[in-house]
Structure 1
C-alpha cells in the first residue's frame, strides 16, 4: 500500500475515533444520573435566565405556547398615542372585517404596565367610560359598529380645571372630529360628549382639561368593529417596557379564538403619534421552553462541539471558546516540548547504553531510569517546586511570565522568550525527566534485540564504522517499538501534564480543567475534555504516520 493511501485511511480512522469520543462525552455529560441543568442553577436566578441557558446548551428549545394568545414587539420611542389595528386570518380565508381587534394606547418614555380597557388615569382626568345610545357605560366598546352614537363620559377631580373640549381622530388617521364644550348633569365633576362613529375602524380621542395656567390632555381609544361570525375576539393589552437606553419596546398581546377554522396568522398595523406611515407587525404565540428529545440533543451536541460552540462559562459568563483559545498555546508549548525532548534524548541515550552494554555507565543509567520511571508525577513536581523555586529561588513558583517583575511592564522580543523559558523550566523538567526514563529503557531493550540480527553482523563484516552501524542500521529498526510506545503514552503525558500545570500554575488546558472542575463549571469542563481528547487523537495519528514511514510493512 502506498503511503498516500495509508494516510487517507488513517485520516478516516481519526475521524471515526473523534466521533466515538463525542459519543462518550455525550454519554458522560448528558446521560449522567440526575438532571444536568442543575449545574447552572444559581440562587436568585430568574426562570427566564435559566431557560436561556438551557436552550443555549441544547437541552431545551423554544416552542410556541399553546392557547389563543399572540404577541409582537413595537419600537415606541416617541411620546403620544399609537393607533394599532390587528388583523386575523384563518386557514379558510375568512377575514375578521377591516379592524377586528383594534384600539389605541398611550406610551410614555418610562417603564409602565397599562391595560387600556380600564383606562389610564391622569392627574386631572381619572376616569373615561364609553356607551352606545341606551347602553351601559363601560371602559371599552367591543361591540361598537359604524353609525353608532357614542357617548364619552369623563371624570374631572380638580374643580379649577374643568374639561374644555374633546377631539376624536377618525380611522383614516387624518380627519379629526372636533367637539366643543361638554355637557353636564346633576353628577358633579362628570362631563359628557356625544358623537357618531361614521366609519369602521379605530378611533382615538383627546380630552383636554385646562384653566388659566395649566392644561392636561388625556387620550383613549376604541374600535367600531363588530365581531365577525366564526371568530371570538378578546381585546388585548399593551405593556410598555424599557429594556435598554435609548430604545423603548412595547409588547402587544392579543387573544384570538376562531371557531370556523384554525388561525393562520395575526398581524397588526402601527401608526405613530405623528401620523407616520404604518408598520406591519407579525404577531406570534409567546415562546416557552420545552425539553429536547435525546436524539435532538445528540445531533445538536455534535454540531456545537465540532463547530467550537461550547456555550458560556458559568463562572466567568464569557464564551468558553474565548477562554480556551488563550490556553491551548501554553499547553501545546509545554506538552510538545516535553514529548519531543524526552523522545529524542531517550532514543539517543537508549542507543548509547545498548551499544555499551555491560559498562558501569549502563548500570548506573538503568538504576536512575528505574527510579524516575516509578516516581509519581505530582510528587516529583512538588520536589522540584520546593527545592528550586521555594528553597533556592532559582526559578519562579509558577505562571508563564511575560512581565518585568520590577516594573510590571510587558516584555517583548528576546526578553519575553527568555522569561517564558525561565518559567517553563521546572514544569518542562518534570515532564521530560519522567518521560525520558521510559524511553531510555525501551530504546535500550529494543536495541539489544536488534543488535543480534544477521544484518548487523553483515554490516560489521563489511567494515562499516560503529557509528554508522549503530545509527543507520540498528537504531532505525529499534525505533519501531519506541514509536508504538510513544503513541500509547501520549495520553499519559497529557494526563501528567494536567497535574504538572496545576502544580506549577501553568496557564494551560490542564490548569483550566482542574479549576473548572472545582467550580462545577459544566461547559468549561466539557470543552476542556474535548480539546484534550482531540490533542491526544492528533498526537496518536502523527505517531502512527511516523511508524508507517519508518516501517513500510505496516502499510500492507
Structure 2
C-alpha cells in the first residue's frame, strides 16, 4: 500500500504539468488578454491631457501630458510598459517556465486587476466554498445512501415508484431554479421572510456567543444548501440503488440466505461492503464538483462570494494569475482526494490490495 501511495503521489507531478500546459496553450490562443483589455479601457477614457496612471504588480505607468488623447490611441512606450507590467514582454515558453518555478515555491503572484496576492484572495473566498461543498456533500450522502438502500430492498414497490418519480422531478429542475423558488417563498420574496438573502454570516457575528455563531452560520446556509441538495442527490440515490440491486442478485447472496442468515445480516454483512465500493469511487468527483464548480450560480443568487464566482470572474476578466492559481489548487486537491478515495477502498473491503493489483 505504501508503494502504491508513493507512486500515485509521484504521478501527480506530470499530471499537474500536463493540465497546466494544456490550459496555458488554450489561453494563449484565446483573444482579449489582459494587455488588450487594459488598452481597451484606456482607449475608452478621455482625460483631456491629464496623467493616466496604471497600477499593477507594484508598478505605475504615466502616459504623460500629450501622448494620449482618446481616439488618437496610446503611445507605443505605454503599450510596451503595459506588456512588461503583465509579463507579456517575454515569450510564451519563458512565461510558462517562470510560472512553474513560482508555483514550485507556492508563489502564485498578484492578481492583475485586484492589486492583492492571489493566495490571499483564494483564502478570503475559501470559507464560502468549503461551507457549500462540505456540508452539501455530507447531506447528499446521508440522504442518498439510506434512500438508495431502501429503494433497492423495496424494488418495484409503491414506495420505490413514488420516490423515483419525486427524485426524477428534482433532478430535472436545475438547482438555481430551486434557489429562486426558495428565495420567493422563504427569504422575503412574496411570502415569508424567515431566512437571510445574502452573506455567510450576519454583521454582528463577532458579538454572538458560540451557540449563536453556529446558529447564525447554519441559518445563512439553510437555503443555499437546500437548493444544492435537492438538485444533486438524485444521481447518487439511483447509483446506490442499482449497485445494491446488482449485488443482491449474485450467487453469494443466495448462498448466505440458504445458510439461514437474516436479511439484515445479509444486507449489511455481505452486500453492503461490495455495493459501497462504487459509491466511494464517486465521492471525490462529487465533492470536488460541488466544492468548486457546482455552486457558482448558487453563490451568485445568494450573494456568496466564493471560489466558484472568483474563478468565473477571473476567466472573464483574463486575470491569468488567479485563473492558473485556482486551476493548480483545484487540480491538486482533486488528485489528492481521488487518492484518498482509493485508499478508503481498503477500509470498506480489506480484501482489496493495490500493491498486488499493480504487480
Q: Provide the TM-score with structure 1 as the length reference.
A: 0.52
User: Which residue of structure 2 lines up, in the alignment, with residue 415 of structure 1?
Assistant: 212
User: Which residue of structure 1 lines up, in the alignment, with residue 241 of structure 2?
Assistant: 444
Instruction: Extract unaligned runs of 5+ from structure 2.
Output: 43-51, 62-79
Return the offset for 1:34.
Answer: 5.7
Match of 2:91 among 261, 279, 293: 293
The answer to whether the aligner puts 1:540 opposite 2:344 as a matched pair is: no
Match of 1:334 among 113, 128, 132: 132
Go from structure 1 to structure 2 and tell me whether the alpha carbon gap of 1:387 and 1:540 turns closer, same or farther (over 3 Å shift): farther
Check conservation: 1:338, 1:428, Cα contact below 8 A.
Answer: yes
Q: Distance in 1 between matches of 2:247 and 2:214?
A: 42
Q: Distance in 1 between matches of 2:208 and 2:37?
A: 40
The answer to whether the aligner puts 1:477 opposite 2:277 as a matched pair is: no
User: Which residue of structure 1 lines up, in the alignment, with residue 197 of structure 2?
Assistant: 397
Go from structure 1 to structure 2 and tell me whether the alpha carbon gap of 1:350 and 1:301 turns closer, same or farther (over 3 Å shift): same
Q: Distance in 1 between matches of 2:308 and 2:298?
A: 8
User: Which residue of structure 1 lines up, in the alignment, with residue 27 of structure 2?
Assistant: 29
Check conservation: 1:460, 1:469, Cα contact below 8 A.
Answer: yes
Q: Deviations over 1:474-528 (max 9, x none)?
A: 1221112223333444454332112222222223211323444555544334433
Q: SS where residue 60 of structure 2 aligns?
A: helix
Check conservation: 1:26, 1:301, Cα contact below 8 A.
Answer: no
Larger strand share, 1 or 2: 1
User: Which residue of structure 1 lines up, in the alignment, with residue 307 of structure 2?
Assistant: 509
The answer to whether the aligner puts 1:45 opposite 2:53 as a matched pair is: yes
Larger RCO, structures 1/2 (Cα 8 Å, 6+ apart): 2
Q: Distance in 1 between matches of 2:23 and 2:235?
A: 30
Check conservation: 1:14, 1:541, Cα contact below 8 A.
Answer: no
Q: Deviations over 1:316-354 (max 9, x none)?
A: 322222121121132122202222221232122111211
Q: Distance in 2 between matches of 1:554 and 1:349?
A: 31
Check conservation: 1:310, 1:321, Cα contact below 8 A.
Answer: yes
The answer to whether the aligner puts 1:358 opposite 2:356 as a matched pair is: no
Go from structure 1 to structure 2 and tell me whether the alpha carbon gap of 1:436 and 1:315 turns closer, same or farther (over 3 Å shift): same
Q: Distance in 2 between matches of 1:386 and 1:538?
A: 39
Q: SS where residue 23 of structure 1 aligns?
A: helix
Q: SS where residue 342 of structure 1 aligns?
A: helix
The answer to whether the aligner puts 1:4 opposite 2:14 as a matched pair is: no
Go from structure 1 to structure 2 and tell me whether the alpha carbon gap of 1:332 and 1:56 turns closer, same or farther (over 3 Å shift): farther
The answer to whether the aligner puts 1:304 opposite 2:315 as a matched pair is: no
User: Which residue of structure 2 lines up, in the alignment, with residue 429 of structure 1?
Assistant: 226
Q: Distance in 2 between matches of 1:546 and 1:373?
A: 28
Go from structure 1 to structure 2 and tell me whether the alpha carbon gap of 1:10 and 1:318 turns closer, same or farther (over 3 Å shift): same
Q: Deviations over 1:103-124 (max 9, x none)?
A: xxxxxxxxxxxxxxxxxxxxxx
The answer to whether the aligner puts 1:453 opposite 2:250 as a matched pair is: yes
User: Which residue of structure 2 lines up, in the alignment, with residue 172 of structure 1?
Assistant: none
Match of 1:14 among 2, 12, 23: 12
User: Which residue of structure 1 lines up, in the alignment, with residue 65 of structure 2?
Assistant: none
Go from structure 1 to structure 2 and tell me whether the alpha carbon gap of 1:321 and 1:379 turns closer, same or farther (over 3 Å shift): same
Check conservation: 1:402, 1:410, Cα contact below 8 A.
Answer: no
CA RMSD of aligned residues (A): 2.8
Q: Provide the TM-score with structure 2 as the length reference.
A: 0.78
Give structure 1 regions of 4+ aligned residues with deviation exceeding 6 angstroms: none
Return the offset for 1:449.
Answer: 0.9
User: Which residue of structure 1 lines up, in the alignment, with residue 75 of structure 2?
Assistant: none
Q: Distance in 1 between matches of 2:347 and 2:82?
A: 48
Instruction: Extract unaligned runs of 5+ from structure 1.
Output: 60-290
Return the offset for 1:430.
Answer: 1.8
Return the offset for 1:421.
Answer: 0.9
Go from structure 1 to structure 2 and tell me whether the alpha carbon gap of 1:350 and 1:498 turns closer, same or farther (over 3 Å shift): same
Go from structure 1 to structure 2 and tell me whether the alpha carbon gap of 1:540 and 1:430 turns closer, same or farther (over 3 Å shift): farther
Q: Distance in 1 between matches of 2:214 and 2:108?
A: 32
Go from structure 1 to structure 2 and tell me whether the alpha carbon gap of 1:402 and 1:539 turns closer, same or farther (over 3 Å shift): farther
1:101-500 aligned at under 5 Å gives the runs 291-389=89-187, 390=189, 391-404=191-204, 410-490=207-287, 492-493=289-290, 494-500=292-298
Return the offset for 1:394.
Answer: 1.8
Check conservation: 1:346, 1:439, Cα contact below 8 A.
Answer: yes
